[in-house]
Structure 1
Amino acid sequence: MKFIFVLFALVLSLFGNEKVLYVYNWSEYMPDSVLKNFTKETGIKVKYSTYDSNEAMYAKVKTIGTSSYDIIVPSTYFVNKMSREKLLVKLDKSKLPNYKNLDTKLLSKPFDPNNDYSIPYLWGSTGISYNADLVKEPIDSWKNLWNPEYKNSVLLNDDMREVFGVALKVLGYSSNSTNPKEIEEAYLKLKELLPNVKMFYSESQKQVYLNEEVKLGMNFNGEGFMANEENEAIKYIYPKEGTLLWIDSLVIPKGAKNIDNAHIFINYLLKPEVSKIISEEIGYPSPNAKTLELLDEKTRNNRTIYPNEDDLLNSEFQIDVGEVLPTYEKYWEKLKTN
């Protein structure tokens, strides 16, 4: 009997104290080598799962509870939404010595003024990708998507705020409009676009362009970069009305079971040499100021990844639209069921 008890205690010590971390992130958004090296360096095993939209992530977290994950990577205004709903843990920056490496221009944004809940992971833009072998007119504007010759040939993100942001930009409004009349106008403008829309899709968009399933449409700049790496005919541009900007942030959900491991993971990702690997492989700009000094010239000078000031004229970061969100949701539902 004593032997059985000792054996049971040994099993508990081996498995009950397993160093583990549950990460819930966007698809194709972290190199496998980074996860493997993290485990090799720390002994912490990463259990990794993915989502394809903020809405899908939020719905799952609300359904199964935040305790199922230790790290989540929401975009911009979703950080504010989740912190306001008390779904996030306040970070202990004393456990994040590499926080000092971050570019201060990407800190203290309105969605988390003191970065109490979020640490920038990657930032980027949503612009237009097009296949130059299939599209002959110059593409420089969101308005190009409405050209009747692109019937059933356009990709739109499966993202309510970004899709409405495009229409609002075309109409000359802010992509963060809180005016119900402007939001309704954007809905009507998007209804005009529907004959051209082949799909609403946000997961691995590069493959859709590489397969020539669409001729042009919305795209994340990193997906545009990776598609261009495989086919030079696929171009990425910053529309003249202004592109849509975002920051994807590392957060710890309330109820996380491995909070210390989560801090260790965040601090690891903030190492300049690790951030360099992520930026070069995934194709998104790093928020790590120290990383810029390490990047290869091809990555550092690629405007799809690192835009210049002219590229970002009239661009906006998404912010929380507060009480008008249900108005967006109402028109989004109508748009998707048309």
Structure 2
Amino acid sequence: MPISRRRLLTASALAPLAAPALGRLTGGAHADDAPLVVNTYGGRWGTFWRDQLLPKLQPIVGRPVRLEIGLGSAWAAAFRAAGKANPPFPCLMTNERYAVSLRAEGYFAPLTTAQVPNLAQVAEVARYKDDMSVTGMISPFGIVYRTDMVKTPPKSWRELWNPAYKGQIGFYSVDNSAAIMMVMLAGKLFGKGEQDIERGVAKIAELKPFPQAAFSGQLSPMLAQGQVSIAPLDYGEAYALKKKGVPIGMVVPEDGVLMYDQSFNIAAASPQKDLAARYLDFILSPEIQLMLAKEFYVAPVNKTVKLPDELKEAIPVSGDALSSILRFDWAFAAANQPQISKLWSASI
């Protein structure tokens, strides 16, 4: 899921509610009656967790719950600094691009439906091999365009390479996971497969010139101001523009939908694994999945959730349509991030 920088600027206001900072996190409170620490992002995210989720969660876990406000890179660093035997908190929520390496290094334990009963109701696209993790939040994204500037919108990712769209496209910078996905998608569409990053970057370069945005909160204004007329963007962000009166159309690409994700991982060595499992089951429950959908326009991963009609425009990919979401090899992406960045810098 995308985290807009503007949403994070208010994180400091939540500091008194958060768990200790990185240096203190590495201690990992392990007393039997220690509070449960759960992580989330700043700004609107932290407010929602504090005001809406924690009051419902605390009776379930039977103890106080504290928030650890931060970002994926800092949380990954905290886990490595603490070591496998002393995780800073028992359940890590983060983008898969950060979780995949920690998982490969043995930080996390497999999940079971005995521990997490709602896991049995999770859509296939959100499940992992051997249930080593689960995607608890999916923010689908596709092609977004200005209806007043684009007469014939593309129906697929492949059609972005139509010369008619030259100079109209906005894009993410290589530091954003969306750009990494687009590189691997281009390798799949035009090369030997998603691991053909040389071909993928070369095809992205063919779309130049285009402005690059570090995050969705930078790309949205480009669309709103007419600086670009087409862009890959998460549907929730696009819907927010539409609610403000911007003439926006959303395409569900015929060749697959991409997603921002939040994977949930239980620390193997945590003495609070049972509490972490209760928290994760809580997140996957129909009630909380619907709350998350209403607040963040994310697609529910629990198959029993029926999306209300008023959310269907904001979340055009949900339910059975989640099968159209493309998943990528993030272990490969993490290992090859330096090479992707080098190729990107050289040609884009």
Cα 1:247–1:193, aligned 2, differ >3 Å: closer, same or farther?
same
Cα 1:64–1:195, aligned 2, differ >3 Å: closer, same or farther?
farther
Which residue is 1:139 aligned to? Answer: 154
TM-superposed deviation, 1:186: 1.6
Larger Rg: 1
One-letter code aligned to 1:319: D
C-alpha distance in structure 1 between counterparts of 2:42 and 2:181, whole Å = 16
Cα 1:241–1:249, aligned 2, differ >3 Å: closer, same or farther?
same
Structure 1 gaps of 5+ residues are: 1-14
Q: TM-score, normalised by structure 2?
A: 0.70
Which residue is 1:162 aligned to? Answer: 181
Cα offsets for 1:214-273 (capped at 9, x unmatched): 433221233333433334522221233433356532112355464333222112122211
Which residue is 2:64 aligned to? Answer: 44
2:88 to 60, 68, 72: 68
Cα offsets for 1:42-63 (capped at 9, x unmatched): 4432314243xx6676456446
Asked whether the equivalents of residues 101 and 334 of structure 2 are also in contact (C-alpha less than 8 Å), the reply is: no
Q: CA-atom RMSD, angstroms? A: 3.9
Q: TM-score, normalised by structure 1?
A: 0.71
C-alpha distance in structure 2 between counterparts of 1:326 and 1:83, whole Å = 13
Asked whether the equivalents of residues 113 and 120 of structure 2 are also in contact (C-alpha less than 8 Å), the reply is: no
The residue correspondences of 1:48-127 to structure 2 (distance < 5 A) are: 48-51=68-71, 58=76, 61-62=79-80, 67-75=87-95, 80-91=100-111, 93-103=113-123, 105-106=124-125, 108=127, 112-115=128-131, 117-127=132-142
Asked whether the equivalents of residues 124 and 305 of structure 1 are also in contact (C-alpha less than 8 Å), the reply is: no
One-letter code aligned to 2:316: T
1:130 to 145, 148, 151: 145
TM-superposed deviation, 1:300: 4.8
C-alpha distance in structure 1 between counterparts of 2:153 and 2:78, whole Å = 41
1:19 to 35, 45, 63: 35
C-alpha distance in structure 1 between counterparts of 2:37 and 2:119, whole Å = 20
C-alpha distance in structure 1 between counterparts of 2:44 and 2:228, whole Å = 20
Cα 1:229–1:65, aligned 2, differ >3 Å: closer, same or farther?
farther
One-letter code aligned to 1:335: W
Q: Which piece of structure 1 moves more, 65-74 or 119-128?
A: 65-74
TM-superposed deviation, 1:277: 1.1
TM-superposed deviation, 1:82: 2.9
TM-superposed deviation, 1:296: 1.8
Which residue is 1:218 aligned to? Answer: 232
2:316 to 301, 304, 312: 304
| Secondary structure of the corresponding residue to residue 94 of structure 1 | coil
Q: Which has the higher contact order (CA 8 A, sep 6+)?
A: 1
One-letter code aligned to 1:201: F
2:260 matched to 1:260?
Answer: no
Cα offsets for 1:198-227 (capped at 9, x unmatched): 323256865664565643322123333343
Cα offsets for 1:136-189 (capped at 9, x unmatched): 442333343675866485132612531313422552654xx23xxx32122222
TM-superposed deviation, 1:96: 2.3
Identity of aligned residues (%): 15
Cα 1:172–1:270, aligned 2, differ >3 Å: closer, same or farther?
same
TM-superposed deviation, 1:89: 2.9
TM-superposed deviation, 1:284: 1.7
C-alpha distance in structure 2 between counterparts of 1:102 and 1:161, whole Å = 26
Which residue is 1:329 aligned to? Answer: 338
C-alpha distance in structure 2 between counterparts of 1:241 and 1:99, whole Å = 28
